[in-house]
Amino acid sequence: GMTGAVAFDDTFVHYFPDTLDLLELSGAHLRDFSPLSDDGLPDGTDVVYLGCGQLHRYAGVLAENPCMITALRSFARAGGRVYAEGGAAAYLSSQLELASGRRLPMAGLLPTIARHNPTAPPPTPAEITVEKECWLATTGDSLRGYKNHTWRLEPLARVDSIARESAHQLDIIRAGNVIASSVHLNLVGQPQTLAQFLSTPASVVHASRF
Protein backbone atom coordinates (compact mmCIF):
# COMPACT_ATOMS: atom_id res chain seq x y z
CA GLY A 1 0.00 0.00 0.00
CA MET A 2 0.85 3.67 -0.16
CA THR A 3 3.32 4.99 2.41
CA GLY A 4 2.18 8.37 3.68
CA ALA A 5 4.43 10.68 5.68
CA VAL A 6 2.15 12.68 8.00
CA ALA A 7 3.54 15.86 9.58
CA PHE A 8 2.86 15.69 13.29
CA ASP A 9 4.49 17.83 15.98
CA ASP A 10 3.75 20.98 18.00
CA THR A 11 3.05 22.91 14.78
CA PHE A 12 1.10 20.42 12.68
CA VAL A 13 -1.76 19.15 14.80
CA HIS A 14 -5.06 19.57 12.95
CA TYR A 15 -6.27 16.43 11.17
CA PHE A 16 -9.63 14.69 10.95
CA PRO A 17 -8.87 11.56 13.01
CA ASP A 18 -11.39 9.55 10.98
CA THR A 19 -9.55 10.49 7.76
CA LEU A 20 -6.28 9.10 9.14
CA ASP A 21 -8.09 5.99 10.43
CA LEU A 22 -9.75 5.47 7.05
CA LEU A 23 -6.44 5.77 5.19
CA GLU A 24 -4.91 3.09 7.43
CA LEU A 25 -7.97 0.83 7.19
CA SER A 26 -7.72 1.16 3.39
CA GLY A 27 -4.14 -0.12 3.37
CA ALA A 28 -2.00 3.01 3.71
CA HIS A 29 1.11 2.89 5.88
CA LEU A 30 1.17 6.20 7.76
CA ARG A 31 4.39 7.37 9.38
CA ASP A 32 4.72 10.53 11.44
CA PHE A 33 7.50 13.02 10.91
CA SER A 34 8.31 16.42 12.40
CA PRO A 35 9.05 19.41 10.14
CA LEU A 36 10.19 21.20 13.31
CA SER A 37 12.94 18.77 14.30
CA ASP A 38 13.51 15.98 11.75
CA ASP A 39 16.23 16.13 9.11
CA GLY A 40 14.26 14.36 6.39
CA LEU A 41 11.24 12.35 5.33
CA PRO A 42 10.60 8.70 6.31
CA ASP A 43 12.13 6.16 3.93
CA GLY A 44 9.88 5.00 1.12
CA THR A 45 7.49 7.94 1.31
CA ASP A 46 4.96 8.04 -1.55
CA VAL A 47 2.84 10.98 -0.35
CA VAL A 48 3.60 13.79 2.12
CA TYR A 49 0.51 14.96 4.01
CA LEU A 50 0.81 18.19 5.99
CA GLY A 51 -2.22 19.20 8.04
CA CYS A 52 -2.99 22.58 9.53
CA GLY A 53 -1.68 23.85 12.84
CA GLN A 54 -0.06 26.60 14.87
CA LEU A 55 2.15 27.90 12.10
CA HIS A 56 2.29 31.51 13.30
CA ARG A 57 3.80 30.32 16.60
CA TYR A 58 6.53 28.16 15.13
CA ALA A 59 7.31 29.86 11.80
CA GLY A 60 10.74 30.99 12.98
CA VAL A 61 11.72 27.50 14.12
CA LEU A 62 10.47 25.95 10.87
CA ALA A 63 12.49 28.46 8.85
CA GLU A 64 15.58 27.40 10.83
CA ASN A 65 15.32 23.74 9.79
CA PRO A 66 16.86 23.88 6.29
CA CYS A 67 17.44 20.10 6.22
CA MET A 68 13.70 19.42 6.21
CA ILE A 69 13.07 22.15 3.65
CA THR A 70 15.76 20.66 1.38
CA ALA A 71 14.25 17.17 1.79
CA LEU A 72 10.77 18.44 0.88
CA ARG A 73 12.10 20.35 -2.15
CA SER A 74 14.04 17.32 -3.37
CA PHE A 75 11.00 15.06 -2.93
CA ALA A 76 8.79 17.50 -4.85
CA ARG A 77 11.37 18.06 -7.58
CA ALA A 78 11.54 14.31 -8.18
CA GLY A 79 7.76 14.30 -8.74
CA GLY A 80 6.80 13.27 -5.20
CA ARG A 81 3.20 13.93 -4.20
CA VAL A 82 2.66 16.56 -1.51
CA TYR A 83 -0.67 17.66 -0.04
CA ALA A 84 -0.87 20.58 2.41
CA GLU A 85 -3.86 22.14 4.17
CA GLY A 86 -4.35 25.53 5.82
CA GLY A 87 -1.27 26.54 7.78
CA ALA A 88 0.77 23.87 6.00
CA ALA A 89 0.17 25.73 2.72
CA ALA A 90 1.74 28.76 4.41
CA TYR A 91 4.74 26.59 5.35
CA LEU A 92 5.17 25.49 1.73
CA SER A 93 4.94 29.08 0.47
CA SER A 94 7.98 31.10 -0.57
CA GLN A 95 7.40 33.42 2.37
CA LEU A 96 4.85 34.26 5.00
CA GLU A 97 3.81 37.50 6.60
CA LEU A 98 2.77 37.57 10.24
CA ALA A 99 0.18 40.02 11.56
CA SER A 100 3.05 42.17 12.90
CA GLY A 101 4.24 42.64 9.32
CA ARG A 102 7.31 40.46 9.90
CA ARG A 103 8.16 38.36 6.86
CA LEU A 104 9.92 35.00 6.97
CA PRO A 105 11.25 32.82 4.16
CA MET A 106 9.51 29.46 4.07
CA ALA A 107 9.95 26.16 2.23
CA GLY A 108 9.39 27.59 -1.26
CA LEU A 109 7.48 24.69 -2.81
CA LEU A 110 4.73 27.14 -3.85
CA PRO A 111 5.31 30.54 -5.52
CA THR A 112 3.07 32.25 -2.97
CA ILE A 113 3.17 34.56 0.02
CA ALA A 114 0.94 33.54 2.93
CA ARG A 115 -0.57 36.32 5.04
CA HIS A 116 -1.76 35.57 8.56
CA ASN A 117 -5.11 36.86 9.81
CA PRO A 118 -5.22 36.37 13.60
CA THR A 119 -8.85 37.59 13.77
CA ALA A 120 -10.11 35.18 11.12
CA PRO A 121 -13.58 33.68 11.57
CA PRO A 122 -13.83 29.93 12.27
CA PRO A 123 -13.79 27.52 9.30
CA THR A 124 -16.87 27.51 7.07
CA PRO A 125 -18.25 24.65 4.92
CA ALA A 126 -17.02 24.72 1.33
CA GLU A 127 -17.39 22.63 -1.79
CA ILE A 128 -15.00 22.86 -4.72
CA THR A 129 -15.53 21.39 -8.17
CA VAL A 130 -12.31 20.17 -9.74
CA GLU A 131 -11.60 21.76 -13.11
CA LYS A 132 -8.04 20.53 -13.69
CA GLU A 133 -7.08 16.92 -13.15
CA CYS A 134 -4.24 16.25 -10.72
CA TRP A 135 -3.04 13.32 -8.61
CA LEU A 136 -5.60 14.15 -5.90
CA ALA A 137 -8.73 14.45 -8.03
CA THR A 138 -10.15 14.13 -11.53
CA THR A 139 -12.11 16.74 -13.48
CA GLY A 140 -15.67 17.05 -12.23
CA ASP A 141 -14.97 15.66 -8.75
CA SER A 142 -16.38 17.53 -5.78
CA LEU A 143 -14.10 18.21 -2.83
CA ARG A 144 -16.01 18.96 0.37
CA GLY A 145 -14.64 20.31 3.60
CA TYR A 146 -14.16 23.38 5.75
CA LYS A 147 -12.44 26.53 4.52
CA ASN A 148 -9.70 27.90 6.77
CA HIS A 149 -9.64 31.72 6.83
CA THR A 150 -6.50 32.13 8.96
CA TRP A 151 -4.04 32.22 6.05
CA ARG A 152 -4.49 33.97 2.71
CA LEU A 153 -2.26 32.84 -0.12
CA GLU A 154 -1.25 35.38 -2.75
CA PRO A 155 0.61 34.27 -5.88
CA LEU A 156 4.09 35.69 -6.50
CA ALA A 157 4.19 33.92 -9.88
CA ARG A 158 1.69 31.93 -11.92
CA VAL A 159 -0.04 29.21 -9.94
CA ASP A 160 -2.40 26.59 -11.28
CA SER A 161 -5.80 26.57 -9.65
CA ILE A 162 -7.61 23.24 -9.92
CA ALA A 163 -10.96 24.78 -8.88
CA ARG A 164 -13.78 25.53 -11.31
CA GLU A 165 -15.49 28.19 -9.18
CA SER A 166 -14.06 31.70 -9.47
CA ALA A 167 -14.56 32.25 -5.72
CA HIS A 168 -12.30 29.27 -4.96
CA GLN A 169 -9.44 29.97 -7.40
CA LEU A 170 -6.83 30.39 -4.67
CA ASP A 171 -8.39 27.83 -2.32
CA ILE A 172 -6.81 24.83 -4.03
CA ILE A 173 -3.69 25.31 -6.11
CA ARG A 174 -0.88 23.19 -7.46
CA ALA A 175 2.73 23.49 -8.52
CA GLY A 176 3.77 20.22 -10.15
CA ASN A 177 2.66 17.46 -7.76
CA VAL A 178 2.45 19.84 -4.79
CA ILE A 179 -1.18 20.60 -3.93
CA ALA A 180 -2.19 23.18 -1.33
CA SER A 181 -5.72 23.64 -0.05
CA SER A 182 -7.27 26.17 2.28
CA VAL A 183 -10.18 23.74 2.56
CA HIS A 184 -9.68 20.98 5.13
CA LEU A 185 -10.89 17.77 3.49
CA ASN A 186 -12.46 14.92 5.41
CA LEU A 187 -12.03 11.87 3.18
CA VAL A 188 -14.84 10.02 4.94
CA GLY A 189 -17.77 10.07 2.51
CA GLN A 190 -15.51 11.06 -0.40
CA PRO A 191 -14.49 7.66 -1.79
CA GLN A 192 -13.18 9.03 -5.09
CA THR A 193 -10.72 11.36 -3.34
CA LEU A 194 -9.74 8.61 -0.90
CA ALA A 195 -8.94 6.29 -3.82
CA GLN A 196 -6.82 8.97 -5.50
CA PHE A 197 -4.98 9.61 -2.24
CA LEU A 198 -4.20 5.90 -1.86
CA SER A 199 -2.98 5.37 -5.41
CA THR A 200 0.78 5.20 -5.80
CA PRO A 201 2.47 6.59 -8.90
CA ALA A 202 3.63 3.91 -11.34
CA SER A 203 6.82 5.89 -11.83
CA VAL A 204 8.19 9.16 -10.57
CA VAL A 205 7.31 11.88 -13.07
CA HIS A 206 9.68 14.82 -12.94
CA ALA A 207 7.78 17.98 -12.12
CA SER A 208 8.07 20.58 -14.83
CA ARG A 209 8.75 23.68 -12.76
CA PHE A 210 9.57 24.66 -9.19
pLDDT of residue 206: 37
Mean pLDDT value across residues 117-124: 95
Mean pLDDT value across residues 113-122: 96
pLDDT of residue 200: 77
pLDDT of residue 202: 59
Residue 136, classified by CB atoms within 10 Å of its CB into exposed (0-12), middle (13-18) or buried (19+), is: buried
Q: What does the pLDDT look like over 65-114, one tens digit per residue?
A: 999 999 999 999 999 999 999 999 999 999 999 999 999 999 999 999 99
Residue 44 is inside which H or E element, if any? none
Q: Is the pLDDT score of 207 beyond 60?
A: no
The per-residue b/e assignment along 56-93, b for 16 or more CB within 10 angstroms, e otherwise, is bebbeebbebeebbebbbebbbebbbbbbbbbbbbbbb
Q: Is the pLDDT score of 204 beyond 80?
A: no
Mean pLDDT value across residues 181-189: 94
The whole-chain average pLDDT of the chain stands at 93
Residue 182 DSSP class: S
Q: Is the pLDDT score of 205 beyond 50?
A: no
Sign of CA dihedral 6, 9, 11, 17: positive
Q: What does the pLDDT look like over 140-163, one tens digit per residue?
A: 999 999 999 999 999 999 889 999
Q: Is the pLDDT score of 170 beyond 80?
A: yes
Q: What does the pLDDT look like over 20-53, one tens digit per residue?
A: 999 999 999 999 999 999 999 999 999 999 999 9
